[in-house]
Amino acid sequence: MTQSTISKSHMVVAQNASGRNMNVPIYRITGSKPGPTVYIQSSIHGAEVQGNVVIYQLIQYLKQLDVCGEIILVPNCNPVGTNIKAGEYTLGRFDPVNGTNWNRGYYYDEQKVHEFAETVSAQESLSSVKQRFRAFWRQAINEKLSSGWGLGLAQQLNLKLQLLAVDADIVLDLHNGPVSTRHVYLPEYAADAAKLLNIPHTILIPNQFAGALDEATFCPWWTLQSLISAQRQEAVSCNVEAMTLEMGSQEVIAFEEGKQDAQSILSYLSKRGIINDCPYEPLAMHRVGVYLKDYRTLYTQWGGMVEYVARPGDKISAGEPLARVLNIDELDNADATFTVTAPCDVIPILHFPSASVLSGTQLYKAFTRYFDITSE
Amino acid sequence: MTQSTISKSHMVVAQNASGRNMNVPIYRITGSKPGPTVYIQSSIHGAEVQGNVVIYQLIQYLKQLDVCGEIILVPNCNPVGTNIKAGEYTLGRFDPVNGTNWNRGYYYDEQKVHEFAETVSAQESLSSVKQRFRAFWRQAINEKLSSGWGLGLAQQLNLKLQLLAVDADIVLDLHNGPVSTRHVYLPEYAADAAKLLNIPHTILIPNQFAGALDEATFCPWWTLQSLISAQRQEAVSCNVEAMTLEMGSQEVIAFEEGKQDAQSILSYLSKRGIINDCPYEPLAMHRVGVYLKDYRTLYTQWGGMVEYVARPGDKISAGEPLARVLNIDELDNADATFTVTAPCDVIPILHFPSASVLSGTQLYKAFTRYFDITSE
Amino acid sequence: MTQSTISKSHMVVAQNASGRNMNVPIYRITGSKPGPTVYIQSSIHGAEVQGNVVIYQLIQYLKQLDVCGEIILVPNCNPVGTNIKAGEYTLGRFDPVNGTNWNRGYYYDEQKVHEFAETVSAQESLSSVKQRFRAFWRQAINEKLSSGWGLGLAQQLNLKLQLLAVDADIVLDLHNGPVSTRHVYLPEYAADAAKLLNIPHTILIPNQFAGALDEATFCPWWTLQSLISAQRQEAVSCNVEAMTLEMGSQEVIAFEEGKQDAQSILSYLSKRGIINDCPYEPLAMHRVGVYLKDYRTLYTQWGGMVEYVARPGDKISAGEPLARVLNIDELDNADATFTVTAPCDVIPILHFPSASVLSGTQLYKAFTRYFDITSE
Amino acid sequence: MTQSTISKSHMVVAQNASGRNMNVPIYRITGSKPGPTVYIQSSIHGAEVQGNVVIYQLIQYLKQLDVCGEIILVPNCNPVGTNIKAGEYTLGRFDPVNGTNWNRGYYYDEQKVHEFAETVSAQESLSSVKQRFRAFWRQAINEKLSSGWGLGLAQQLNLKLQLLAVDADIVLDLHNGPVSTRHVYLPEYAADAAKLLNIPHTILIPNQFAGALDEATFCPWWTLQSLISAQRQEAVSCNVEAMTLEMGSQEVIAFEEGKQDAQSILSYLSKRGIINDCPYEPLAMHRVGVYLKDYRTLYTQWGGMVEYVARPGDKISAGEPLARVLNIDELDNADATFTVTAPCDVIPILHFPSASVLSGTQLYKAFTRYFDITSE
């Protein structure tokens, strides 16, 4: 086996109020043989830190493995969000200046894909199409980035990261939920990848852009291959996959769990041809899927103190308790507590991380109308 | 002259983590004669407080005036955002839990308007159409509000307020900019209202919904009247106007300025038939307009400490200084400071309220390609 | 058995920026027989919410028990701190305007105790002394509260609560640590109370005031009884006990654990004569104590991402790992991680609740030079 | 005239959660002749940024002037506080993790001064005493900094800065108030320095330590010279002066005002022998002083929206209006507004920077019982 090589660089993504550059580390593992390009980042939401450990463990494994192609790893990809404390916790989900979610400013423009598709002739090889499309897309992102009046901080950060990912065949964006079980967002066309990851819960998402990196990756390719398939009247696949992996709960890292997470990703990468002789195979496990429209958020209509009775990952039948609420003004009577029950059969995937909730809080996000994935 | 009457009530819009209701005050001034309905709210963004004073001054004036119709006034309409402090300032622009802008969750669904328009016959009177449409729209908002899994806090708040506004012919949403001169957002079809307000700067916005209350009000009516006009092949107007008035800078109230602001609104309401024998007329003043697409944001590409040299409202020619920046790491050399200049002829309308800026900060928002409104 | 009675009232402790009163609920349980007065409050730190459940469970039990004297219970005693969100968590430890810890503004003035002690004659009975001292102290707090130029919010809140506690013979202030095992702060003179609570870890504190309610309660009594003891040349005890109970981790409530916590408090109250025929006895368990000077905080000298390896409550020997740190800039070499070890034999009691730490962070608080309490 | 030289270095004061060093710039201007040592820092409170401009302007002037001795300038001395945004403003007054004021962790230990004073013989020259005391004090700070279990972030930062200041004869700590007129805190023994600065308001503080840098500088020297004076039975002065200069309002920089501020400091330094042939002299102006005990804070007893009627620096007689308050729930009646009046003759120096206040807010800080300084 020939050894892969690892190199490290840093990219400036922002400047703080002291005028100092803020940069992200970029690790590149170059295999001894050609192969796909993989892009993996973590912590675009600053409090979601387990992905950094996953990348650490991946690097330890990959140093020993036979890699084909290139793997680009960007841990801690949001140096602003990582470092905003509000109390003891990390205010990492949005820009504290304006509330902008750090994960909604990636570039996509459906019109641009149509524009490009018109340049594709019936004879052009798919590899040529892909190569030209990457250059075209990189150009579009660069134009956006250099617009004369500038861009907001989150968008600048997102686009600089997206440029690192634009050549990738596989894009993995590592996140965490608040208090959460592991789950993954996959585009519907790549649903079979769910079986290659050791993650029990999969959300299948349609070809719709809401600003995140996975969507910003698969929406153009999905749209492009749909247009070409229509033109050529045969199913064409660009073989680009992008997904968001939610590696458990925010604000926590666990090195041992990170090893399991890394092995899960290695299993998947191995099946996609990036690793030769990989010692890790997808585990036999119960996997459950849901369509995005059936991944529901349960909001509160009340404020109070909550015990989260249902644990993420548990199957809860309609009518069974999800949460128990304390009403501090009624401790002397029967209204002191009440129970929130499941409106239908659900698997809670994550819940709010604080006992104290106002009305309109995302109490739980849950699978409804879920199905068995392994048996598909 | 017959006196108008004033009544007061409170509406619960949220519940806090202590389980206590949070409510908004609602003042209703009922004229002695019939006439249009007006809805005015202030402080949906918690730090934007001058509108509360404007409503106070309006009430003082209106008590003395001959009102036709009804005026509903809701000061301090966001009790959550008003009361979130982060340091000495009010974190009032977005929900501190999730970053949701408090002013983006109003209801609009273009498809619904089309659906309704199909129920309008060629013979139906406009007043009948308007009445049926209000009921239809109220129903749609109520359905949204009562959706089984609930809604986020900002959206719940927005929809409850929107229900108060749904019968109004005129909707005024009172805001402030960060450090800002007075300006107003008007739908293009109601551009002539600009001349009735004593506000020097007007932004004309197209029929596009971005979540705010003014848009949520005029988009359905604009769309509806366009559809009916097309059906009937004649220009039809529903005579509903909605606008966002930006009454100077946030974090500040000024009672005397509030009187001027109130007189400006009274002048406009008088011209729209809500006030008889109003002693206030629109002032002769220089008014400038811009199309929304030409109301530009200048973002920083750098971080540092800024002196805002150009004052909101001043005309600045291309190349003239907007801001001067200090670089604390280069105080001993020529890079210690640099100047940001206007990229074209502009009128800065507002600037960031802190000297300390990261890269990607909204330094200024400015009119470009502006035009004289009075001479139109 | 005669039934005790329960009554409820509310006390205004603050007014928010909307001008609305913010109040706390006060539950009073009056026994059928005379006896001591007990004051119990919870959640002076807004994110420390388990005490609210403990008070709920206490009320459920006390309704059924034979109480002697009066028990005053104030759950959620800080309506401001409870309702400040910063991200999903509660910014409950300090006033967000100025950083003032909500638990440092209670009243104590040693000079005042000396002043009072001079009024005590050799013949005065202890019960007369106690009665007069309570009146004297209440007067001093009231004078402080009504000072002409006013007081800061935290201090206003603290003093209003302290007035509720001034007649109490027993004061329990219910708190939580960040991620924490259960522990209790006791004044040294009341060390034997440690054996009456089902709490494994006790910190014994000297007669020094640092602003908290327990100190504000025991410092005056301790000082007074020392002065009288010296005067009379015999040991005199005022029999007032005050303590801070830390009921596990912040941001979490658990109803079942609250039952255990309530039973623990009932056992203690029973031994102090407040409950007749109490079904709960202090449990046989291993209890460990430490003097305050040996309850040490381990601060970081570095910033990074941390896995908290040592769990609160575990005995850790010198040199064993407490935490493992990830350095995201060195994932490709041996500096990628390092281990923080115990500087001596310790029992970690609590650790920081976020994996992301700057330099100078309170990583762990730990018992050192601890001793067995049961065997004393 | 011989030119002074300027050099620049950086000192690491913290490490962020990404593991990156955070450093402060240090500028040293070395005169061509010997003389006193001056230490000037700015922005220990992150939102108080005008001092950075003052240091910039000072450097521009000092480059041209004949300096005796050494001037150490540290702008932006708190890179953590400078970069914590909460909304558009800078949360710069306290550590967002725990509320610790960034300006309360400097070192002072009165006992240590007594300890040192015992080593001073009657014959030792004052210059020898000063030299030995500086070494002694540096050692004490270093011991504190290297304590085995570490220190909190604010204290680490403070002590590292204090080490830069320990050799200085003059220490200037540049701050800003919220909305504020210029004022200065001086130790009582250096009251005459007030006439050398172009600052209209001076607060004279006693020999008491509350944690700030000026106190941490003058308390040891004041105590030491008092002890030696007592020993030698003659007045001895160590000629060390330390002060906090409040350069107007926070969140704002102004280059032209910074020139005035710099000239004011140059006038003072010139009189203290640091600058030869200085072109700037203290201006003839009205100067007013107050003892610290008479510099009072007016707290609110209510919450509401406030117009600050009295401007900082204005003389306000007892009973005249300071502020006018809006009560949004009473806009229809006479309780809609009320006026806060001056409780005695005052000069307001600063007021709260937001119209929205809770009860217990520091509405104004004001001079009472003030006196004319120039005429002393």
Asked if B355 and D56 come within 8 Å (Cβ–Cβ), the reply is no
Asked if C99 and D97 come within 8 Å (Cβ–Cβ), the reply is no
- The verdict on B250 touching C (C-beta cutoff 8 Å) is no
Contact between residue B193 and residue B218 where contact means Cβ atoms under 8 Å apart: no
φ, ψ for residue B21, nearest 5 deg: -70, 140
Domain spanning A294-372: which CATH class is it, in words? Answer: mainly beta
- The verdict on D329 touching C (C-beta cutoff 8 Å) is yes
Higher pLDDT, C376 or A14: A14
- The verdict on D307 touching B (C-beta cutoff 8 Å) is yes
Residue of A11, A12, A16, A18 to mutate, interface with D, max D Cβ within 10 Å? A18
| Reduced 3-state DSSP string for chain D | CCCCEEEEEEEEEEECCCCCEEEEEEEEEECCEEEEEEEEEECCCCCCCHHHHHHHHHHHHHCCCEEEEEEEEECCCCCCHHHCEECCEECCCECCCCCCECCCCCCCCHHHHHHHHCCCCCCCCHHHHHHHHHHHHHHHHHHHHCCCCCCCHHHHHHHHHHHHHCCCCEEEEEEEECEECCEEEEEHHHHHHHHHCCCCEEEEECCCCCCCHHHHHHHHHHHHHHHHHHHHCCCCCCCCEEEEEEEEECCCCCHHHHHHHHHHHHHHHHHCCCEECCCCCCCCCCCEEEEHHHEEEEECCCCEEEEECCCCCCCECCCCEEEEEECCCCCCCHHHEEEEECCCCEEEEEECCCCEECCCCEEEEEECCCEECCCC
Q: Quick one: pLDDT at residue B148?
A: 86
Mean pLDDT over C131-154 rounds to 96
Contact between residue B291 and residue D16 where contact means Cβ atoms under 8 Å apart: no
Q: Quick one: pLDDT at residue B1?
A: 56
Select from D73, D83, D86 the Cβ nearest to the Cβ of B86: D86
Tokens 């956006």: give the residue.
A144
Q: Quick one: pLDDT at residue D374?
A: 72
Which chain B residue has its CA at the smallest distance from D257's CA?
B307
The amino acid sitting at A243 is M
Hey, what are C115's tokens?
A: 């002043």
Which chain C residue has its CA at the smallest distance from A45's CA?
C87
Mean pLDDT over A212-224 rounds to 98
Measured CA to CA in angstroms, residue C2 lies from C65, C73, C272 at distances of 9, 21, 19
How far apart CA C343 and CA C328 sit, in angstroms, is 25
The amino acid sitting at B284 is A
Asked if D299 and C149 come within 8 Å (Cβ–Cβ), the reply is yes
Three-state DSSP state, A56: helix
How far apart CA C295 and CA C367 sit, in angstroms, is 5
Among C residues 53-112, those touching chain A with beta carbons less than 8 Å apart: 53, 55-56, 59, 73, 75-76, 82-83, 85-93
- Tally of CA atoms within 13 A in the half-sphere of A339 that contains its CB: 10
Residue of A12, A84, A149 to mutate, interface with B, max B Cβ within 10 Å? A149
> Mind telling me how many Å the CA of D104 is from chain C's nearest CA?
12
Hey, what are D172's tokens?
A: 């200037």
Contact between residue A14 and residue A84 where contact means Cβ atoms under 8 Å apart: no
For the cut 80, the answer to whether the pLDDT of residue A13 exceeds it is yes
Asked if A52 and C89 come within 8 Å (Cβ–Cβ), the reply is no
Give the CA angle between residues A242, A243, A245 to the nearest 5°.
Answer: 150
Among D residues 157-196, those touching chain B with beta carbons less than 8 Å apart: 178
Hey, what are D61's tokens?
A: 């002037």
> Mind telling me how many Å the CA of D260 is from chain B's nearest CA?
16
- The verdict on B333 touching A (C-beta cutoff 8 Å) is no
Mean pLDDT of all residues in chain D? 96
- Is residue D376 very low, low, confident or very high in pLDDT (cuts 50, 70, 90)? very low
Residue of B85, B97, B98 to mutate, interface with C, max C Cβ within 10 Å? B85
- The verdict on B296 touching A (C-beta cutoff 8 Å) is yes
Asked if C355 and A252 come within 8 Å (Cβ–Cβ), the reply is yes
Asked if C354 and A89 come within 8 Å (Cβ–Cβ), the reply is yes
How far apart CA C240 and CA C160 sit, in angstroms, is 20
Domain borders along chain A are: 5-285, 294-372
How far apart CA A181 and CA A311 sit, in angstroms, is 9
Which chain B residue has its CA at the smallest distance from C97's CA?
B87
The amino acid sitting at B84 is I
Mean pLDDT over D192-201 rounds to 97
CB atoms within 10 A of CB A287: 22
At D259-268, the pLDDT tens digits run 999 999 999 9
At B227-279, the pLDDT tens digits run 999 999 999 999 999 999 999 999 999 999 999 999 999 999 999 999 999 99
At D156-193, the pLDDT tens digits run 999 999 999 999 999 999 999 999 999 999 999 999 99
The correct answer on CATH 2.40.50.100 for the domain covering D295-370 is: yes
Q: Quick one: pLDDT at residue D3?
A: 76
Which residues does chain A have within 8 Å of residue B301's beta carbon, measured at their own beta carbons? 150
Asked if A97 and D88 come within 8 Å (Cβ–Cβ), the reply is yes
Share of chain A above pLDDT 90, in %: 97
Asked if A84 and D84 come within 8 Å (Cβ–Cβ), the reply is yes
Asked if A89 and C92 come within 8 Å (Cβ–Cβ), the reply is no
Estimate to the nearest angstrom the gap between the alpha carbon of D183 and the chain centroid: 10
Select from B18, B85, B87 the Cβ nearest to the Cβ of C76: B18
- The verdict on B49 touching D (C-beta cutoff 8 Å) is yes
CB atoms within 10 A of CB C41: 26
- Is residue D146 very low, low, confident or very high in pLDDT (cuts 50, 70, 90)? very high
How far apart CA B157 and CA B102 sit, in angstroms, is 8
Contact between residue A38 and residue A7 where contact means Cβ atoms under 8 Å apart: no
Among B residues 263-292, those touching chain A with beta carbons less than 8 Å apart: none
Which residues does chain D have within 8 Å of residue B75's beta carbon, measured at their own beta carbons? 328, 331
Q: Quick one: pLDDT at residue D65?
A: 95
CB atoms within 10 A of CB C149: 14
For the cut 70, the answer to whether the pLDDT of residue C1 exceeds it is no
Hey, what are D66's tokens?
A: 């004949």
- Is residue C285 very low, low, confident or very high in pLDDT (cuts 50, 70, 90)? very high
CA nearest D41: which of D163, D205, D196? D163
Q: What are the residues whose beta carbons fall under 8 Å from the beta carbon of B235, sequence distance 6 or more? A: B229
Residues of chain B short of pLDDT 50, as ranges, are 375-376
- Is residue A2 very low, low, confident or very high in pLDDT (cuts 50, 70, 90)? low
Task: Enumerate neighbours of B (3 or more CB pairs within 8 A).
Answer: A, C, D
> Mind telling me how many Å the CA of B47 is from chain D's nearest CA?
8
Asked if A343 and B148 come within 8 Å (Cβ–Cβ), the reply is yes
Which residues does chain C have within 8 Å of residue D80's beta carbon, measured at their own beta carbons? 358
At B332-346, the pLDDT tens digits run 999 999 999 999 999
Asked if C362 and D80 come within 8 Å (Cβ–Cβ), the reply is no
Contact between residue B371 and residue B295 where contact means Cβ atoms under 8 Å apart: no
Select from D49, D85, D326 the Cβ nearest to the Cβ of B355: D49
Asked if C358 and D16 come within 8 Å (Cβ–Cβ), the reply is yes
Q: Quick one: pLDDT at residue B2?
A: 63
- The verdict on B15 touching A (C-beta cutoff 8 Å) is yes
How far apart CA B289 and CA B201 sit, in angstroms, is 6
Asked if B149 and A304 come within 8 Å (Cβ–Cβ), the reply is no
Hey, what are A210's tokens?
A: 């809401």
| Reduced 3-state DSSP string for chain C | CCCCEEEEEEEEEEECCCCCEEEEEEEEEECCEEEEEEEEEECCCCCCCHHHHHHHHHHHHHCCCEEEEEEEEECCCCCCHHHCEECCEECCCECCCCCCECCCCCCCCHHHHHHHHCCCCCCCCHHHHHHHHHHHHHHHHHHHHCCCCCCCHHHHHHHHHHHHHCCCCEEEEEEEECEECCEEEEEHHHHHHHHHCCCCEEEEECCCCCCCHHHHHHHHHHHHHHHHHHHHCCCCCCCCEEEEEEEEECCCCCHHHHHHHHHHHHHHHHHCCCEECCCCCCCCCCCEEEEHHHEEEEECCCCEEEEECCCCCCCECCCCEEEEEECCCCCCCHHHEEEEECCCCEEEEEECCCCEECCCCEEEEEEECCEECCCC
Asked if B360 and A154 come within 8 Å (Cβ–Cβ), the reply is yes
| Reduced 3-state DSSP string for B90-149 | ECCCECCCCCCECCCCCCCCHHHHHHHHCCCCCCCCHHHHHHHHHHHHHHHHHHHHCCCC
Select from B79, B82, B88 the Cβ nearest to the Cβ of C97: B88
Q: What are the residues whose beta carbons fall under 8 Å from the beta carbon of C371, sequence distance 6 or more? A: C288, C289, C290
A–D CB contacts, 8 A cutoff, strictly below: 42
Measured CA to CA in angstroms, residue D335 lies from A240, B7, B56 at distances of 66, 15, 11
Select from A76, A87, A96 the Cβ nearest to the Cβ of D85: A96
- Fold match between A5-285 and A294-372? no
Mean pLDDT over D40-53 rounds to 98
What's the ipTM? 0.96
Which chain B residue has its CA at the smallest distance from D63's CA?
B332
Q: Quick one: pLDDT at residue A375?
A: 45
**Fold that domain C294-370 belongs to in CATH:** OB fold (Dihydrolipoamide Acetyltransferase, E2P) (2.40.50)
Asked if B99 and A101 come within 8 Å (Cβ–Cβ), the reply is yes
How far apart CA A133 and CA A238 sit, in angstroms, is 11
How far apart CA A242 and CA A138 sit, in angstroms, is 17
Select from C47, C75, C329 the Cβ nearest to the Cβ of A331: C75
Residue of D85, D88, D98, D157 to mutate, interface with A, max A Cβ within 10 Å? D85
> Mind telling me how many Å the CA of D155 is from chain C's nearest CA?
8
For the cut 50, the answer to whether the pLDDT of residue A376 exceeds it is no
How far apart CA B358 and CA D213 sit, in angstroms, is 28
For D5-285, CATH gives: 3.40.630.10
Q: Quick one: pLDDT at residue C3?
A: 76
Select from A17, A95, A157 the Cβ nearest to the Cβ of B357: A17
> Mind telling me how many Å the CA of A77 is from chain D's nearest CA?
10
Which chain A residue has its CA at the smallest distance from C335's CA?
A56
Q: Are strands C201-205 and C183-187 parallel, antiparallel or unpaired?
A: parallel
Partner residues linked to B262 by β-bridges? none
Start-to-end C-alpha separation, chain D = 36
